[in-house]
């Protein structure tokens, strides 16, 4: 498998230069995620320039991520903006020759796409996501790009089975799964059983995995249940099972370290790499 990172990139991708790619390589990565904050207004010239700079620097754009209104937004006009932004991003992903376009399930909570809302788990919300994503998939098929949908316990895609339902219902060969096991920790039982939790996800969705996000978490010493992300290797996620499963189902895919500031990335990268070596992972293009 390959090792990439979400981070080490300027907010404005027009500022990516040789220093950027050198820094990414210095940190030990061959791939990077490219995040767009104004999808509709991205031009082909901008994307072509970015592709050239990354290629010259030996860096692969392993995933495209976009900021946009959620595909389940209760406002039909806002939802339409989200669909159109993702359709444009299909075009951008094709121009960039990126590995895939990331798809987030979203939330009905007006405060954020990753916050809880009781109606996130209603069948009607799932059906809205199916309808929106079906339109996005048409663009993905036209542009010949892959979509990588991610689940989360707070979203309508809260289980592996629900994600499989989505993939089956939408019925597009371009719709696949982004493996991120930390997102499925919904209870103390899950937190203390990450080996079996991940084994179940791989059993259900293994054939559909095309990329993954690597991170870790711990349980805070506070009332009720509070989970907090931390540096890979310093939490309680079974990273060995994560990497073994990914190697089995997606041996030529990218695992991307995410959600860490630059000063914490080196230790997370070191820990993940070493756990992978112990697990028998074939790290492609990496020496140490």
Domain-embedded: residue 287: no
**Two tokens at 213?**
């996000």
**pTM (2 d.p.):** 0.96
CATH, residue 129: 3.20.20.150
Distance CA(104)–CA(12), nearest Å, equals 21
Phi (first) and psi of residue 110, to 5 degrees: -70, -15
Q: Strand pairing partners for 148?
A: 102, 176
Give the domain extent around 154: 2-278
pLDDT of residue 22: 98
Phi-psi sector, 9: left (phi>0), alpha (psi -120 to 50), beta:
beta
Q: Is 62 exposed, middle or buried (0-12, 13-18, 19+ CB in 10 A)?
A: buried
Domain-embedded: residue 75: yes
Domain-embedded: residue 224: yes
Distance CA(14)–CA(89), nearest Å, equals 16
pLDDT tens series, the chain, 288 aa: 999 999 999 999 999 999 999 999 999 999 999 999 999 999 999 999 999 999 999 999 999 999 999 999 999 999 999 999 999 999 999 999 999 999 999 999 999 999 999 999 999 999 999 999 999 999 999 999 999 999 999 999 999 999 999 999 999 999 999 999 999 999 999 999 999 999 999 999 999 999 999 999 999 999 889 999 999 999 999 999 999 999 999 999 999 999 999 999 999 999 999 999 999 999 998 877
Domain-embedded: residue 148: yes
Distance CA(285)–CA(56), nearest Å, equals 16
Domain-embedded: residue 284: no
Domain-embedded: residue 286: no
Those residues whose C-beta lies under 8 Å from the C-beta of residue 263, and which sit 6 or more positions away, are: none
Domain count across the chain: 1
Domain-embedded: residue 55: yes
Task: Classify strands 227-230 and 2-5 as parallel, antiparallel or unpaired.
Answer: unpaired
Domain-embedded: residue 285: no
């Amino acid at each position: 498998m390959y090792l990439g990172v979400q981070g080490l990139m300027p907010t404005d991708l027009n500022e990516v230069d040789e220093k950027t790619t050198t820094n990414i390589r210095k940190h030990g990565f061959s791939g990077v995620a490219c995040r767009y904050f104004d999808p509709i207004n991205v031009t082909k010239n901008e994307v072509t320039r970015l592709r050239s700079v990354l290629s010259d620097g030996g860096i692969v754009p392993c995933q495209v991520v976009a900021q946009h209104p959620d595909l389940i937004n209760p406002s039909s006009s806002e939802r339409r903006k989200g669909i159109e932004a993702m359709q444009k991003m299909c075009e951008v992903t094709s121009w960039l020759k990126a590995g895939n376009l990331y798809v987030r399930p979203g939330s009905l909570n007006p405060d954020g796409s990753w916050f809880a809302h009781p109606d996130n788990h209603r069948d009607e919300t799932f059906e809205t996501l199916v309808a929106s994503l079906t339109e996005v998939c048409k663009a993905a098929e036209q542009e010949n790009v892959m979509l990588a949908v991610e689940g989360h316990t707070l979203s309508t895609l809260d289980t592996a089975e629900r994600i499989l339902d989505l993939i089956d219902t939408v019925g597009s060969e371009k719709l696949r799964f982004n493996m991120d096991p930390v997102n499925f920790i919904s209870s103390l039982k899950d937190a203390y059983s990450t080996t079996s939790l991940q084994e179940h996800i791989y059993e259900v969705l293994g054939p559909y995995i095309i990329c993954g996000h690597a991170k870790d978490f711990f349980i805070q010493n506070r009332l009720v249940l509070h989970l907090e992300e931390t540096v890979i290797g310093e939490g309680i996620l079974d990273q060995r099972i994560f990497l073994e499963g990914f190697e089995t189902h997606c041996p030529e895919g990218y695992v991307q370290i995410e959600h860490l500031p630059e000063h914490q990335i080196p230790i997370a990268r070191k820990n993940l790499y070493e756990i992978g070596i112990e697990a028998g992972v074939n790290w492609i293009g990496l020496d140490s």
